[in-house]
Structure formats: structure tokens, C-alpha cells
Amino acid sequence: MQRRKLLQSVPGALCGLMPLGALADEFANAVKPAFRVPLPIAPVRAQPDRLIDLAVCTRPFRPQGPRIEAQPLHGKTVVHHYGHGGSGWSLSWGSAQPALPLVLATRERHIAIIGCGAIGLTTARVAQRAGLRVRIYCKERPPEVRSSAATGLWSPDSRLYSAEHATPAVAMEWEAMARASFKVWQSMLGLPGEPVAWHDGYVLSDIPFDQAQPATGTDAEPEYAELEDSIRDLRPQSVPLRPEEHPFKAPHVRRLTQMVFNLASYQRLLMEDFLREGGEIEQRDFLHARQIAGLRERTVVNCTGYGARALFGDKSIIPVRGQTARLIPQPEVDYALFWRGHNVAMVPRRDGLLVQAQGPHDFDNDDTRVDRALSEDAVRRLAEAFA
């Protein structure tokens, strides 16, 4: 399948790092750069012994997209809000917008949210801004939540819908969510701790960008919907670079601009804002959905992510495993790197240079054990990118 081949061909995209649609389209529609000042590019100290943290997370992928709907259950109104695949951070603010009216319709002023990951925390902040009192119940909170293991890139259509479910109506809803999210992200630029920042990135390729890499994967991964074309205006297009304009060994290099979330400081910011506005957090592991009957609140927002599969019996959630690793921070490295066909991507986060590679069997895989060899190999490949 052509799409599948492309998935195998762009490391960032195949790792769930980059919105593949955006990348592919950018390659095809590059504009002539307005200026060509060569930038000094600090080399990455890509050595496996500089790895300081490895983490595994499962993207909560639903072929039909996130579940955002209300359901009477065990004497409560449960507003489901989960299933954001590889886009949970990017879409979080916009995705909370359609969930909010469902919450407000219950006319409860004190609500419960189950889950303290990307979706739970953001939904809580949106509810607080609407004047509600919120108590979060959760098994884990940051940094232990699965969301903490994400890459931290603006990737609003990554493993979010299968292509067959992306009807025009779905695409319109998605665009509204993506634009609303993007707007909020821009309001956080320049804040202390740099929760969000824009960085240049370089996409490397051994073959021209308009040629697809041969498929190498064995997973039965579906064709995902590519929706980013409708929001093309939100970020600059990529530009081709001449060999003297970069230090990389690959014959084909393009520069793009990418929004990066510094998840450590961003999660802390979310938590602080939530608590400052009267939010409460209660440690609770729900073993069965029946247990929500015992909660004080009558409106419960279900933001349990992949946890909804077990807790609410939603077997449509498919775990898509992903592993991230961090190298010791190098503040001078302020660019991202994606090496097409070499299964490695690097993102310049403030808490370390995040390195990602896709495993051979990530789809429908809920194994959260760390595979150190996978990340060490990715670091070695990263080192090879520098001439």
C-alpha cells in the first residue's frame, strides 16, 4: 500500500512524531526560500551512554476517532472524552471544546474528571474557565501518566482516525478542534519554562523526497486519515537546502518549522494552574465502572485514555506502542531531526534531546516494558546523520 510505504519512509512520521500528511505535502509544495543565511548547527552528542531516561506509552487509537459523548451510567452522567491516538497533546484544548457543552448541559457546578493525563488535565482547565469546580480522580498523575512519555510535537492528525472513518463531517470537526487548540498553544509562547516553542527541523533523505521508501514493516497498521492539508496556513512550508547549507551526510535535506511542547514544564504549568483555581486531585484506582456510583459528583468526565478499554469495556481502543528516550540536554541543539528511511527522529526538548524510533510490532501492542536496545540503536543511527 502506497500510504504504508510512505509511513515506512519518513522516520518522524512513522514514529508518530510528525504529521505525515503535512510532511508529504510540504515536500510536494515547497516554496523558494526568501533568504538562505546558513545557520550554525551544533552537533548532537549522540552516544548511547548519554541516555538518561526511556519511557513507553500506548497511543489510545480508535479507528473512528476520539469518543466525545454523554452516557447515563450507574446513576451519573458520564461524559466520555478519550481515544486521541498520537494526537492527544496537540488536540487537547480543541477536543475539550465539544466535551464542555455536554458537561454544562447537566447543570452541575461541581464535576469529577477521571484521569490526569493530557486530556484529563486540559479538560479540567477548560471546565474551570467555564466556572466549574473540578475534582480529578486518578490512578497516576504527571509525571507517571502515559502522556508524559510522548514526543511533544504538534501532530494533530497522527494516528487519530483510520482513513475510512474520515468523512467530510469528521474532517470539519477535526479542523475546528485543531484550530482551537493551535490558538491556545500560541498563547503560551514565551512563558517561563518554555512550555511551548517553535523550532527549525531538518528532514534528511537518501533519495529524492518525491520517492517513497520501500515498505519494511510487518504490522497490520491501517491507513490513517491525513487531515493537515486544511490547516496548512498554520505553519511555514518546508524549504530544500543545498549541501553547503547543512552539515548532514544525507544527499537530500529540507528545513521545516515545528511546534514543540516541553512536556515537563508544560505539565507542571497545567497542574499549578489547576490547583491554583481550586482544583483538587484524589488518588483512586477504579477497578470497575460501577465504582463511579460512589463518587460525590453527579457529572463524571471519563478521560482515562487507554484505561477506558478495561474500565468501560471499550474494545475499539487499539494500543499503539511507542518508546521515547532522552539524551542529556544540550541547550545549543535547538533543531529537530528526522531521517527518512532510517527510523530515527530527534526533538530538542528542554528536558533532554528526545530520540524516537519505531519498533517492529507497535500496532495493537500494549507491552509497556522498555526495550533499551531499540533506543540505543536509534542513537547510533542519529550519530551517523552528521558527516
Ligand X SMILES: Cc1cc2nc3c(=O)[nH]c(=O)nc-3n(C[C@H](O)[C@H](O)[C@H](O)COP(=O)(O)OP(=O)(O)OC[C@H]3O[C@@H](n4cnc5c(N)ncnc54)[C@H](O)[C@@H]3O)c2cc1C
Which residues bind to ligand X, rule: CB under 6 A? Answer: 16-17, 57-60, 82, 84-90, 114-120, 138-140, 145-147, 149-153, 155, 284-286, 303-307, 311, 322, 324
Q: Is residue 9 classed as helix, strand or coil in its secondary structure?
A: helix
| Least distance between ligand X and beta carbon 142 (Å) | 8
Return d(Cα 210, Cα 17) in angstroms, integer.
Answer: 20
Nearer to ligand X, 176 or 387 (CB): 176
Q: Which of 369, 144, 362, 381 is nearest to 267 (CA)?
A: 144
| Least distance between ligand X and beta carbon 29 (Å) | 23
What distances in angstroms separate CA 67 from CA 59, 71, 226, 305, one per listed residue?
Answer: 14, 11, 19, 10
Nearer to ligand X, 41 or 149 (CB): 149
| Least distance between ligand X and beta carbon 139 (Å) | 4
Nearer to ligand X, 241 or 258 (CB): 258
Return d(Cα 195, Cα 271) in angstroms, integer.
Answer: 13
R_g (Cα) of the chain, nearest Å? 20
Cβ atoms of residues 362 and 317 within 8 Å: no
Beta strands in the chain (DSSP E): 51-61, 67-73, 76-82, 110-114, 133-138, 196-205, 239-240, 252-261, 280-283, 299-302, 318-327, 335-339, 344-349, 352-357
| Least distance between ligand X and beta carbon 124 (Å) | 11
| Least distance between ligand X and beta carbon 58 (Å) | 6
> Residue 21 burial (CB < 10 Å; 0-12/13-18/19+)?
buried
- Residue 113 backbone dihedrals phi, psi, to 5 degrees: -125, 130
| Least distance between ligand X and beta carbon 356 (Å) | 6
Q: How many alpha carbons fall within 13 Å on the CB side of residue 163?
A: 9
Nearer to ligand X, 120 or 348 (CB): 120
Nearer to ligand X, 116 or 197 (CB): 116
Bond before 60 cis per omega within 30 degrees: no
Nearer to ligand X, 212 or 222 (CB): 222
* DSSP 8-state secondary structure symbol assigned to residue 197: E
| Least distance between ligand X and beta carbon 225 (Å) | 15
Nearer to ligand X, 33 or 230 (CB): 230
| Least distance between ligand X and beta carbon 185 (Å) | 10
Q: Is residue 88 classed as helix, strand or coil in its secondary structure?
A: helix
Return d(Cα 148, Cα 146) in angstroms, integer.
Answer: 5
The residue behind cell 536496545 is 373
| Least distance between ligand X and beta carbon 241 (Å) | 24
The residue behind cell 528511511 is 341
Nearer to ligand X, 139 or 165 (CB): 139
Nearer to ligand X, 112 or 212 (CB): 112
Nearer to ligand X, 17 or 204 (CB): 17
| Least distance between ligand X and beta carbon 244 (Å) | 32
Cβ atoms of residues 196 and 188 within 8 Å: yes
